[in-house]
Structure 1
Amino acid sequence: MLEVKFYENIEDELLEFAVIVSRYHSKWVFCTHRERNTYEVPGGHREPGETILETAKRELYEETGAVEYSLYPVCVYSVKGKEQEIEGSKETYGMLYFAEVSRFEELPDYEIEKVVFLDELPSNLTYPFIQPKLMEKVIQFLYKFIK
């Protein structure tokens, strides 16, 4: 079974990835990978020597073309397990961010096929057991801090 947990903070060296739930003109930003027909929020793994904030900024640009935005740290989260359960799988940690995007440039030629702007969470998600929980956490954050 897949397990998602949330934390206030954790040692920086444990953070392996950044995920950025984003909004543009009151719509949620989703992208589709060239090799999948499902929707996901921007995010990805940290590269050597990169801070987790640099990871978030790089991934947001690479996966959406966002160039002007306000970026807010929401919380640390972890995932243990996979969509197809592997007993004893390792817990991995990532940083969840929220971005309010004000301007995009052309989508860079990386792994993302297209970017879409939606009013709500789509039903065909790449990570259906993770992304709804991350969206819920960001919505709570928005009600509490951004309004």
Structure 2
Amino acid sequence: MRVVLEVKFYGCNEIEENKLIFVVIMAKFNNKWVVVRHKERNTWGIPAGHIELSESVEAAASRELFEETGAIDFTIYPVNIYSVNNGEQETYGQLFYAEIRELGELPQTEIAEIKLVDELPKDLTYPLIQSILAKRVQKYVEENF
């Protein structure tokens, strides 16, 4: 059976913050997109993670960007809230764009390496979702920067 995923976008205040589970941060450094490879995978991904209990969405995005890329000086912008529906449940997250000015040492967490790219690689960990989120951020950047 094939799973069909539906991704929807909402304004940044349309969904209550306590319903948000994930943050996804499309980031640029030296005018290149930053992608990450998890230690247990051979595929690439956009920096992302879970919002911890009692953590604000913005704090989660900043923490995940640091933990997954080593970014120590950056500006982060909220783009949209998004949802992913797999036919059984709908989950919500916040999509961000970040401009990284300085990368420090990559923290010794779950990320093995980062890569700077002009375009997202074809071998994404979650290609259906990540490609849709990436297009939304690229549109946001074109319209706002």
TM-score (norm 2): 0.94
Q: Name the count of aligned residue pairs.
A: 140
Counterpart Cα distance in 2 of 1:89 and 1:109 = 35
User: 2:7 aligns to what SS in structure 1?
Assistant: strand
CA distances 1:54-95 after superposition (whole Å, capped 9, x unpaired) = 1100100000000101100000000111xxxxxx42100000
Deviation of residue 96 (structure 1)?
0.1
Is 1:20 the counterpart of 2:25 in the alignment? yes
Counterpart Cα distance in 1 of 2:88 and 2:40 = 25
RMSD: 0.7
User: Aligned residue for 1:108?
Assistant: 107
29-38 vs 7-16, greater mean Cα deviation: 7-16
Corresponding residue to 1:60 among 57, 65, 75? 65
Counterpart Cα distance in 1 of 2:52 and 2:37 = 22
Any residues of structure 2 matched to 1:72-87 within 5 Å, and which? 72-81=77-86
User: Aligned residue for 2:125?
Assistant: 126
Greater than 4 Å deviation, 4+ residue runs: none
User: Aligned residue for 1:51?
Assistant: 56
Counterpart Cα distance in 2 of 1:47 and 1:14 = 12
Counterpart Cα distance in 1 of 2:122 and 2:139 = 21
TM-score (norm 1): 0.93
**Contiguous gaps of at least 5 residues in structure 1:** 82-87
User: Aligned residue for 1:84?
Assistant: none
Name the aligned partner's letter for residue 119 of structure 1. D
Counterpart Cα distance in 2 of 1:67 and 1:41 = 17
Counterpart Cα distance in 2 of 1:100 and 1:34 = 24
Name the aligned partner's letter for residue 120 of structure 1. E
User: Aligned residue for 1:3?
Assistant: 6
